[in-house]
Amino acid sequence: MSVLIVGSTALDSIFTPKGKRPRLLGGSASHASVAASFFSPVHLVGVVGDDFPQAYLNLYRRHGINLEGLQIEPGKTFHWAGEYEVNMNNRRTLKTELGVFEKFSPELPESMRNVRFVLLANIAPSLQHRVLDQMRKPRFVIADTMDLWLNIAKDDLLRLLRRIDALVLNDSEARLLTGDDNVISAVEKIHRLGPRHVIVKKGEHGSFLSSHRGFFLAPAFPLKKLVDPTGAGDSFVGGLIGYLASRPGPIEANLRGAIIYGTAVASFCCEGFGLERTTAINRKAIDQRVKLLERLVRF
C-alpha cells in the first residue's frame, strides 16, 4: 500500500562538532519520505519556494516519491539553521526563515485522498488537521509533533489526538504534554487523550510503544560515530509507516517490526549530514541492520 506524508520540506544549514553543511535537503517530510520509500510508494505533500534546487527534486524522484502534492510557490524555501553541542544531545536554532512555508496550506490532489496510511510528520497541528479533513477513509494515521506545538498550539494538538491512531513524541514532550514526570504513567495519560498507540522516542536510548497489547521496548542501534542527528526522528517514523504499509495482516501484528525498521533507518540517518547517508543505502542494508538488532537484544 502507499503512504501519504505531509510535513515540512526545508533547506537545513547544520553545524555539528564533526563539521558544517549549508542548505542541505531537510524538513520532517523529506526525511520521512525518503525513509518510507525503502518499503512503500510515497506521496509527499509540502511546499517549497522557487529557489528549491532541482537536484533535490531529482533526489525525491530517485526514491520514487510522488511529488504531485508538492507545491512550488514564488518565494523562498523554508530555511533552518542549527548548531549541535559536543554530545549532540542538545542543539540550538540559529535561524528560522519560514519563507513560503508561512502561508502553506496543504492541498491534496484527488488521487491522494484515498490513501490508507497517513503520516502527519512534524508541522503545525492546524495543518495536520487540514490534511485529515481531506482524507476519505484512512486505515492508520500516525502523527509526530514537537515541543513548540505543545507550547503554542496545545488546543489544536489535543483535538488532533482524538483523530489519530498513533502519536510519536519524545520522552521530554510526553512529560510536557501531561505534566507527569514518570514517562510510563505519562503515556497512560496520553492514551486517555485519544491515540491507542503511543510511541516514545528516547534518542540513543531507543524507543517504546504502548498499546492495549502492553509495552514494547525497542533498542537504539549502537553508533560509535554520530555525525548529525537531524532528521533521525523523522526517519524513524517514516521507516515505521513505510514498513507498516508494506505488510499484510493486522497493524497490531506488524507494529513492533515497524518500530525496529524505523530504528534501523534512523541509525543510518545519524551517520551522515542531512540525507547524505540515508540516500546512499538500500533495503538490503536496512534488513542487515534489523538482523543485527535482533541479535543485539536476544537472550
Instruction: Give me the residues paired with residue 83 across strands.
Output: 15, 92
Q: Which is nearer to a copy of itself, 41 or 219 (CB)?
A: 219
Q: Which of 40, 25, 31, 38 is nearest to 269 (CA)?
A: 31
Distance CA 72, CA 226 (A): 33
Minimum Å gap between C-beta 243 and a copy of itself is: 12
Cβ contacts of 22 within 8 Å, gap of 6 or more = 13
Minimum Å gap between C-beta 233 and a copy of itself is: 17
Q: Which is nearer to a copy of itself, 112 or 218 (CB)?
A: 218
Instruction: Give me the residues paired with residue 71 across strands.
Output: 47
Distance CA 112, CA 66 (A): 10
The C-alpha cell at 93 is 536554532
Q: Which is nearer to a copy of itself, 284 or 298 (CB)?
A: 298
Which residues sit at the interface with a copy of itself, rule CB under 8 A?
86-87, 181-185, 188, 202, 204-206, 208, 214-219, 222-226, 256-257, 259-260, 294-299
Q: Which is nearer to a copy of itself, 129 or 277 (CB)?
A: 277
Is-contact 160 128, C-beta < 8 A? yes
Task: Calculate the alpha carbon distances from 196 to 107, 120, 184, 222 in Å.
Answer: 27, 16, 15, 29
Minimum Å gap between C-beta 287 and a copy of itself is: 14
- With the CA atoms of 277, 279, 284 and 287 taken in that order, what torsion angle do they form, in degrees rounded to the nearest 10? 60
Minimum Å gap between C-beta 293 and a copy of itself is: 8
Count of other CB atoms within 10 angstroms of residue 273: 20
Minimum Å gap between C-beta 222 and a copy of itself is: 5
Minimum Å gap between C-beta 213 and a copy of itself is: 10
Distance CA 152, CA 65 (A): 32
Minimum Å gap between C-beta 46 and a copy of itself is: 31
Is-contact 190 250, C-beta < 8 A? no
Q: Which is nearer to a copy of itself, 18 or 116 (CB)?
A: 18
Q: Which is nearer to a copy of itself, 107 or 147 (CB)?
A: 147
Q: Which is nearer to a copy of itself, 44 or 174 (CB)?
A: 174
